[in-house]
Structure 1
Amino acid sequence: MQQPNFDHEQVNLLENNLPPNLEMLAIIVKQEFLEEEEEEEEEETGGWGLKFLRKSTLVRNESGSSRSKTSVDVVVPSGIHGGPCSSLIERWKSQGNCDCGGWDLGCSLTLLNGQLQNNNLLELFIEGSKHDTTVLRMEQLPRGRYFVQYQTWLSALQSISVALAFIHSHRAINYYDQ
């Protein structure tokens, strides 16, 4: 049996009909720390419009960690592009505008967002959807385990990427609190 003879340097993956932009999705995890309401009146620093100079403090709960609000935004590409397209984050920031050279006004994106509930449940929904259908649901179980459930149009790799990004960011924040 004869082996094929070809030069590895001549193989160009982009010319073999593979997408030029291989981004599967972009994940943005936001952590907002909540300020505590100060009981005593402090002397105002500065004058009118300078309230931002007050020292901000974090609220601590019974376990000693700060109170915070975690939200997750996921940008999923959809549709066909006319050529190499902008990065998903750039397209998200510009509300879908893309410089791929397509004939339409912008390449379509699917935006998912949700917030962490009860410090152990994350549900992502399609932004602007009239139906409250959960696209991805992730729940923390005992002993450091997680349950991830997702809609079939989201691939397993995309779903596990969202889960890992969230777990990584959540653990980093918990480590920072200690």
Structure 2
Amino acid sequence: MQKDFKAIAESQVTISELMLPSHSNFNGKIHGGYVLSLLDQIAFACASKHSGVYCVTASVDTVDFLNPIEIGELVTMKASVNFVGKSSMLIGIRVEAENIQTGEVKHCNSSYFTMVAKDSDGNSVKVPGLILKTKDDIRRFAKSIKRYDNKKVRSREFHETDFVSEEHLYIVETYNVKIEQ
């Protein structure tokens, strides 16, 4: 039987993995695409743990690469449900890399994945609400509301088609672009 509400701690997931040469790019750093794959996996695990059902990635709202990850570092990813809607969940993920020889830890990445709970027929299903216990829980939830509202604005602006010529002049003066019609 599914709970109506769950504490955030009930769904948190932590994964650690040693970074190997096979995960690196041509510059000798861990490839961003590999990190994105790991982020998607932990977002899935966290969302599925919270909802109790299969979940899919609806969007990746933000991925901030802050510091490069080196071969041989131990990467730890921590995922948490920051916000829930009817069938969607915003999963916050923090990535840290540890030099296992020196013990130095650096924050490498923060990201936010929107996941949607699905039934076996692919229909969206209701997810449990969140029990907010700490000031950090409340802060993350409130920031997620703001993120959600900003996402709606971005989506609406992206689909606008009524640009005026004054905007074109601004684009040419401000950005490295030339308009030829």
TM-score (norm 2): 0.28
CA radius of gyration, larger in: 1
TM-score (norm 1): 0.29
More helix by share: 2
**RCO higher in structure (CA 8 A, sep ≥6):** 2
